[in-house]
Chains A and B, each alone.
Chain A
Amino acid sequence: MAPVQTEFTPAAAASDVRTPESRRLGRPVVHVLWLALLLPYLLGPVPLFKVTSVVLLILVAIGYNLIIGYAGQFVVVSAAVMGVGAYATAFFMGHWGLAVLPAILLAACLSGGLGALTGLLTVRLSGIYLALMSVGLAEAAGIVMERWTAVTGGENGLAVTGISIAGQSPPSPVAMYTLVLVFTALGILVSWLLVSGQWGRLLKAVAHNELAARSAGIDVEATKRTVLVVGFFYFGLAGGLSAIVNGFLAPDDFSLTVAINHLAMVVIGGMGTFIGPILGAIVVGGIPQLLSFSKGYETVLFAAAVFFVVIFVPEGLAAGPRRLWRSLRRNIALRAAAVRGSQP
């Protein structure tokens, strides 16, 4: 390869070329982006629509990865915050007459603001208390979505009106795919800049040991608040995009079950790695689409996949095939030995 080309990879854009992940990944990520640009020419409208909803999930997975994978703050709010982003986008377009782009961005900022508020509420909490608090907040958001019928349409759902992209109304699947792809690519780039620099290191330090992080000069509370704002922004952005893509919103789309599915993307992909959530979103989001012929069974298969990853390859997909294979063999051997009642 010509050396010039490396100038344009995210790896070269980041100062931290020392971590093995950045060395391995810069180029593959760029190739995947090229492939993503070709997809509209390869796929028909229905498959493209499915791909669009999978690509959108990458933003959710990145948000979770920053908050949980890097900063170690266990919150289960993705679906609820997506709901806020989605209904807010619909509201801004339907009631204020905003165009798609400003509506989505404003909704994402609103979600980020919600992250700041959540941070103020939860700053002294960690571990199981933080997780429970977040479940409470998510449930509360769900109730609001069901009851605040004037804005959300309640159980009957809400048709999003006024969707128009580049003069197309309603927009074609290609236009919606392009919109989602642009936001997702930007989201990936931003997450790369964030996690490959000092901020990413600070997040991991805070996740691992708050006292030692403080001693090293890190403002732990401010760091936790900021990561919630950033993560919630990603969730809100994904929610806003989902409002445009689906054109119809119902509270069920933003339930706790959905949030747990989102969590599985990050776990299967590999928490605390840059590439993990992207792979996880594609695999976890994509497999149910492929399995939709086996209606009902996909949930079972999906649960089995989560079990398998957590038990046998806890590093997640981000570890790469060779390390996954090694980890799988080691973990099977360990468990076989444990079952036999001996130490390996």
Chain B
Amino acid sequence: MSTLLDVEAVGVSFGGTHALVEADLTVLEGELHAVIGPNGSGKSTLLNVISRLITPQRGRVRFRGQDLLDRSSHTLASQGVARVFQTPVMFAGLTAFENILVGMQPQLRGGFWRDLLRLPASRRADVKARDAVEALAERLEIPRQQLDLRADALTFVQQRRIELARALAADPELLLLDEPAGGLNSAEIVRFRELIQSLRDDRLTIVLVEHNVRFVRETADRVTVLDHGSVLATGGTDVFSDDRVVSVYIGGRGAVERRDGDA
């Protein structure tokens, strides 16, 4: 498998605090790669660097061999990088369906002139986009009647799926997921895990930031463990038996299991 995303020696500091120090991350095409670590270890900062919401002071981020740091964040979606936030962000005032349509922007290229003129080609594209949204909703098991509701009126769990659909609408190659298991109960976690794995089976590369160890152990192909902004270990899910990794989780196996329980 070839490398899809290559993060090299990235350093980020806010004021005097070092959020990331020489952090590396190599994500192979088609894998489900988890980034794990305790709170404050730099997981979300790393995700923000990859999605260009934070510009690092040092280091390089390459996607398909091209430097991502040259590009502004809004172009990433059309480059094939999509992002799901830790707390679902619904565009209030739009229906769930419209929220997903917004995610189609890289293909639709909606804008002032396009929507003013409504040329036949763009109207055909609109129809195609609507069909694509419906297909996507079906794929993610979003009930049809939910799509016409205002997105901000949906439950947390429903919003999470809508947001995932919005991210997938751009037909990305790389999906960045920020704590997808957070706020879900155990049954929902199982369903979400199956969904994420089925996306991976469809050749989507996924980077998953999570601190629920059990979720990661059962979901990921490879794991990178962050601590204090740098990489502690990287490898298969067997990294969890690494003593250094265990000690980061407050010094022992028991602590790891407790963390599983409260997530």
Q: Are B91 and A204 in contact (CB under 8 A)?
A: yes
**Sampled A-B contacts (6; CB under 8 Å):** A194-B112, A199-B111, A212-B91, A215-B51, A215-B73, A217-B103
Is A268 on the interface with B (CB-CB < 8 A)? no
Cβ of A226 < 8 Å from any Cβ of B? yes
| Contact flag A190-B85 (CB < 8 Å), given A197-B110, A198-B108 | no
Given contacts A15-B127, A209-B89, A230-B112, contact A218 B118 (CB under 8 A): no
Q: Contact check: which of A200, A211, A217, A230 meets B106 at CB < 8 Å? A: A217
Answer whether residue B136 sits at the interface, using C-beta atoms and an 8 A cutoff. no
Q: Are B74 and A13 in contact (CB under 8 A)?
A: no
Do A201 and B114 have beta carbons less than 8 Å apart? no
- Is B179 part of the binding interface, using a Cβ–Cβ cutoff of 8 Å? no
Cross-chain contact A217 with B74 (CB below 8 angstroms)? yes
Cα A218 to Cα B110 with chains together (Å): 9
Is the C-beta of A314 less than 8 angstroms from some C-beta in chain B?
no
Give the residue among A216, A218, A226 with the most B Cβ atoms within 10 A: A216
B208 contacts A by Cβ under 8 Å = no
Q: A197-B114, A202-B105 are in contact. List 16 more A-B contacts (CB 8 A).
A: A13-B118, A193-B118, A194-B112, A198-B110, A198-B111, A198-B114, A199-B112, A202-B111, A205-B91, A205-B94, A213-B74, A215-B82, A215-B83, A217-B103, A217-B106, A226-B112
A19 interface residue per 8 A CB criterion: yes
CA distance A202 to B109 in the complex (A): 10
- Chain B residue at smallest Cβ distance from A272: B93
Cβ contact within 8 Å between B112 and A215: no
A193 with B115: in contact, given A198-B101, A216-B166, A272-B93 (CB under 8 Å)? yes
- Cross-chain pair count, CB within 8 angstroms: 113
The reply on B184 being an interface residue by CB < 8 A is no
The 5 residue pairs across chains A and B that have the minimum distance between CB atoms? A198-B110, A217-B77, A197-B115, A212-B89, A199-B115
Q: Is B76 a contact partner of A198 (Cβ separation < 8 A)?
A: no
- Please determine whether A218 and B115 come into contact, CB atoms closer than 8 angstroms: no
Query: Across the interface, do A19 and B170 meet the contact criterion of CB distance under 8 Å?
Result: no
Is B148's CB within 8 Å of the partner chain A?
A: yes
CB-nearest residue of chain B to A69 = B93
Contact call B89/A201, Cβ cutoff below 8 A? no
Number of residues from A at the complex interface, CB < 8 A: 33
Q: How far is the CA of A19 from the CA of B83 in the complex (A)?
A: 26
Contact B74 A202 (CB under 8 A): no
Cβ contact within 8 Å between A215 and B116: no
Pair A19/B51 contact, Cβ less than 8 Å: no
Q: How far is the CB of A165 from chain B (nearest CB, A)?
A: 27
Q: Tell whether B219 is near chain A: CB-to-CB under 8 Å.
A: no
**Residues in B whose Cβ lies below 8 Å from that of A218:** 74, 102, 105
